[in-house]
Structure 1
C-alpha cells in the first residue's frame, strides 16, 4: 500500500498483481463508503485478464485517513482533484502503458468529473460500472419520492450535524460530499466545482466510455445511467448490461461475481 498526501488527508492506494508486461493500468475508484478491500477479488480478476490494477480508497474511507469529522471541509471538487493527484503519483508505473479509470457509483462520477475538469488528461478510457446521476425523477415511479426524501434528508442532517455519521447509508462522510451528492439528486445536474462549470466540461469529453448497468440494480437504474451519459455527447459510449449467467445482480455484489465483467473490461481496454 502507498499513500498520497492531500491537504490534511491521505489517499490510500492498494496494488494488485498482474503480468509485468500488462499493457493497461487501471485505477479503480469505489462507491461511497465502500473500502478498497471490497474490490480485491475483482482487481485480481482484472490482473488475471492482463490489466494491472490499483484501487484507491476515497477520502475518509478504508485506509485513507482521517475519518470524516466536523472539521472536514471537502466535497465533490476535492474527490475529483484527488484523481489527478493519484494519476500524477502513479506516473512511473503508468509509463509505457495505457491508463484507464474504472469507477463504481460515486467513484465513477468523480472519474467523469476529472475528465471534465482536466481536458488534457492522458487517460485512455473510462469504465463506468453501476454509475449514474441519482436524479430523483429518473427512478421508477413508486421510488421517486422516497429517493428525493432520503437524499435531501441526508443533506439536511449532515449540514446540521457537521458530518454524515453513516446511519444506514453511505458510511461516514464529509458534509460537503453529502451536500454535493444531494444537490445532484435534487437538480439532475452538478454544481460548479471550485468555480468550474463541469456540466460544460462533460460535454467536451472525448475519451471512450464503457458504461455497464447491473441488471437488478435498484440504486442505479437505467434512467440514472441515461442521465449521466446524456452529459457526454462527444464521448464514444459502449453501453452494456451485466447479468452473470443471466441472473440479475445488485449495485454491490457484482464486485464479488465479476470475472466475466473483468474480462470484458480487459477486452475493451485492449482495443483502445
Structure 2
C-alpha cells in the first residue's frame, strides 16, 4: 500500500445506451468474500473512472466488490460530448439505472451501495429517489452538494454565481462546453442543468417533473461525507442538499486532512482513500438488506 492507498487493476466492459456507450471498470472480488457488499461508483463531472483506482483498491481491501462507471462522454465512454449531444441530467440518471440492471447478476444477493462523487452523486441520488431505492440498499455521497451560490461561506458565493452562469452562457454560444479549466468536455444540457442548481439551489426537473417530492419521500440510508478544504462543494452545500431528505436516515460525516495524512480538496481526496473506505465499509455492513 502506498501513501495514496492501493492501486488495483480492473477489467474494462461497456454498456450500450443508444448512440452512446458507457465504460465500466470491473474490479476483482475481494479475497475470500464471494458475496461481499458491492459498491458502484459514479464519478464527478469530467473525471474518468480510472482516476478512482486508489479508492477502488482501498474499498476492495476493506472487503467490498467495486465497479466504477464512466459518465457519458468521459474516459472510456463514447462518443465525447459535442454540439450534437442532447443528453442532460435526466439521461445521466437513467444511465445509473441501466448500469445497475446490467450488473444484476453480479449484484444479486449482495448488499448494494451507490457511491457518488460531485455530479455523479447528484445522479445517484436522483436515481435512488425517483425509483424508491428499489435497486440499492444504501447511498454514499462524497464531496457532493448543491452548488447554490447563496450557501457558500463568506463572499465565495459572489464568485460562484457569475462563474457558473458564465460557463453556461459560453456553452450555449458554443453548443458544447470545451472543458476550459473546469469539468472536462460536457454536453450543453448537462451544463445547463448544473448551472440551474447553482442559480436556484434545487435539482433540475427530470422528465418534466420536480424531483423534490421524491427526495422528501426517499427512505434509503445515506452516508453524506464532506471533505476538508473542498471549496467546490464545501460542507454547507452538502448540508443544503441533505435538507431535501426528510425521510431518509442520513449519517453526516467529515474527513479531515489530519485523518487522511495529507491536504485534500474536491478531487485529491481520492489519493488518500483509506479513511473514507473504512467509513464506507462500516456503513455497508450496517445496512438492512
User: Normalising to structure 1: TM-score of the pair?
Assistant: 0.97
Shift of 1:192: 1.3
1:111 aligns with 2:124: yes
Corresponding residue for residue 3 of structure 2:
none
Of the three residues 16, 20, 23, the one matched with 1:5 is 16
Corresponding residue for residue 36 of structure 2:
23
Cα deviation, 1:5-42, whole Å, max 9, x if unaligned, reads: 11210110001123242421110000000000000011
Corresponding residue for residue 6 of structure 2:
none
**Segment drifting more, 237-246 vs 1-10:** 237-246
Corresponding residue for residue 190 of structure 1:
203
Cα deviation, 1:248-271, whole Å, max 9, x if unaligned, reads: 521111101011211110111011
Shift of 1:117: 1.5
Corresponding residue for residue 165 of structure 1:
178
For the residue of structure 2 that corresponds to 1:107, the secondary structure is helix
Structure 1 residues 219-238: aligned runs within 5 Å:
219-238=232-251
Structure 2 segments unaligned to the other structure (5+ residues): 1-11
Corresponding residue for residue 265 of structure 1:
280
Count of aligned pairs: 272
Shift of 1:244: 4.5
Q: State the alpha-carbon separation in 2 of the partners of residues 261 and 190 from structure 1.
A: 26
Cα deviation, 1:110-137, whole Å, max 9, x if unaligned, reads: 0010012212523000000011000001
For the residue of structure 2 that corresponds to 1:141, the secondary structure is coil
Shift of 1:141: 2.3
**Segment drifting more, 16-25 vs 120-129:** 16-25
* 8 Å CA contact retained: 1:213, 1:222: yes
The 1:215–1:248 alpha-carbon spacing in structure 2 relative to 1, beyond 3 Å, is farther
* 8 Å CA contact retained: 1:22, 1:50: no
For the residue of structure 2 that corresponds to 1:201, the secondary structure is helix
Cα deviation, 1:143-200, whole Å, max 9, x if unaligned, reads: 1111000100111111111100000100000000000000010000122111222111
Shift of 1:43: 0.3
User: Normalising to structure 2: TM-score of the pair?
Assistant: 0.92
* 8 Å CA contact retained: 1:165, 1:172: yes
**Segment drifting more, 13-22 vs 205-214:** 13-22
Cα deviation, 1:80-130, whole Å, max 9, x if unaligned, reads: 000000000000001111110000001001001001221252300000001
For the residue of structure 1 that corresponds to 2:79, the secondary structure is coil
